[in-house]
Amino acid sequence: GISLDQLNKYSAVIHNPVSPEILEYKYDYIKKRENLCITIRPYDESVYAIDKVLEIAKQNPDYLFHIYGVGKYFDFNTKPINVEVFKKYINPKEFAEISTSCSFFGI
């Protein structure tokens, strides 16, 4: 029920380009997944809630959590045993490849 004039006046579209590897990726919903959750984020800024990711990991010991990103958070804080940290970002091709084995993505 919002007029196009009002919508244009109070909003803006910010384009977020997506790599062809991601667009062409076909997720197989039938395939059995490992109990693996993957998140990609910087570690040091509070807006990325790495503490919440670790809290969820502690509450779900039957899942393995892979965290890809950079920062010094883990230089000063311990991680649960079911968390593996990869101090790097992944490119779109790697993103598509690792998504085939995971149960959940958080970016």
Q: Which pLDDT tens digit goes with each residue over 60-75?
A: 999 999 999 899 999 9
pLDDT band, residue 87 (cuts 50/70/90)? very high
Q: What is the pLDDT of residues 36-52, one digit of tens each?
A: 888 888 888 776 788 88
Q: Are 50 and 57 in contact (CB under 8 A)?
A: no
**What is the pLDDT at residue 84?**
93
- Where b means 16+ CB within 10 Å and e means fewer, 19-35 reads eeeeeeeeeeeeeeeee
pTM for this predicted structure: 0.69
